[in-house]
Amino acid sequence: MIGAFLITTFLTTIHANAQVSKVWVSDQGNGTYKNPVINADYSDPDAIRVGDDYYLIASSFDAVPGLPILHSKDLVNWTIQGYALLRQPPFDHFSTTQHGNGVWAPAIRYHNNEFYIYYPDPDFGIYVTKAKNINGPWSDPVLVEAGKGLIDPCPLWDDNGKVYLVHAYAGSRAGIKSIVVVKQLSVDGSKVIDEGKLVYDGHETDPTLEGPKFYKRNGYYYIFAPAGGVSTGWQLVLRSKNIYGPYERKVVMDQGKSPVNGPHQGAWVDTKTGEHWFLHFQDKEAYGRVVHLQPMTWKNDWPIIGVDNDADGKGEPVVTYKKPNVGKVYPITTPAESDEFNGTTLGLQWQWQANPKATWAFMNTAKGALRLYASQIPDSAKSYWDVPNVLLQKFPAEKFVATTKLTFTINPKIKDERVGLVIMGQSYASIGLRSAKDGLNIVYATCRNAVNGERETEKVLGSLSGKTVYFRVTVNEKAKCEFSYSLDGEKFISTNETFQAEPGKWIGAKMGLFCTRTVVTNDAGWADVDWFRITE
């Protein structure tokens, strides 16, 4: 039952072997921080404070487990807390890869001692899941409103007892975008109960308006929303004394003279000491959408996000800044990266490319390893872009080295079992082992334009007389990747090729592991992955 435990239980458990990153730490140890506070692809972040604790969630698209939950005490030092979505509904639909689909920009709120997460699936509608405890169990997702193109929902519990939902539209499904609507929800927040009203149309001044977040302060309703496009846009705030408007408009942050492009889409949070802060993303192409923290002030009931050096009422992002005053100093922590596989659960950084099967992976506690079984790839798969059982995690910095040690035991009756280390994106590359008639070959494979169905090309680098090998990928500036292998863990032999990592669909490139076969059999080979380490 360890395999089932691996899939269903580790998802909402704090990983005990937390380590401080060797490649990116935001906390500078002197009372200041540097951006990004999370140098990884946590797209479309939303966050709340509950007591002394901050919780951040993000889009997860087709990755499973989905709806990642991160935790912080000071808005600078973050760890992965768990996931709210163990498997993504509809379950059969997401048993195959669905790149770019699935969980888009979600919102998290805490109401009446209960956590609520609203998330959109642009093909099926808006869902809500709830939990009394941030570690779960989270309720099965309920469709708040079915429909195509309904995206980026955020609820508001008003002072009069009514509950409202703001959301936007995806032009790719709804045939219209750049508008936001407000709808009324049932008292329990589980169903939309009216057709809603258009409260703002951004076509003329704020194209690609999306990602709205709903707040109320000093009698004003506020809608924080990004506009202008993911990599080039600005942060817009709308306000009105009436929930249905008319809303006044103000740009409260843009790039200005900073190096931070498209600073927008995120969450306003406060501290117990009365400070205000804003968490948002920056699109960095192959590195994904990384999370920044900005100071936020109020002037005439308008927020200013970042620093307003020219006093025009509009801020720009900071690169370094004084840490938030949360009343005390907390230890330096970072999201999980390396994994020794010595426990009974996977590290929380890992996600599959689709809803997983229990037989894909087990924790081999006797050997202190992750055992991956060579699962058959779908007949329809043209490349690993289409293979569900690829285990991946996000890039943790602009420059880093990922190394893994594994032992591969093949089924001698079949050939073309494979295991390896991969950099996944719309094009991808891998280094791995492939079983052949004469044993194990070490192979380097690339797949250009995998997103459009192109096939791999493969180069045999040598043969492996034993079963154990070390694989490494060195990621340099601009996400240029160099693969290598070693037989002793010390001397690494390069492929002598450079692979340019590419984003996935709405996400950054990822790295990870695969173990597959191409034929039907009643048994298969396996790989025991001893460890996976991220270093400088």
Which residues participate in catalysis according to the annotation?
44, 210
Q: How far apart are CA 511 and CA 422, in angstroms?
A: 6
Quick check: helix, strand or coil at residue 325? Answer: coil
HEC sequence for 414-453: CCCCEEEEEEECCCEEEEEEEEECCEEEEEEEEECCHHHC
Tokens of 484: 């290598």
How do strand 510-517 and strand 369-373 relate by DSSP bridges?
unpaired
Burial of 131 (0-12, 13-18, 19+ CB in 10 A): middle
Q: How far apart are CA 83 and CA 394, in angstroms?
A: 15
Q: How far apart are CA 522 and CA 35, in angstroms?
A: 51
CA dihedral of residues 310, 311, 313, 317 (deg, nearest 10):
50
Tokens of 533: 């380490």
Give the start-end residues of each E strand in 231-352: 234-240, 248-253, 264-270, 276-283, 289-299, 302-305, 320-322, 351-352
Q: How far apart are CA 263 and CA 106, in angstroms?
A: 18
Q: How far apart are CA 336 and CA 21, in angstroms?
A: 8
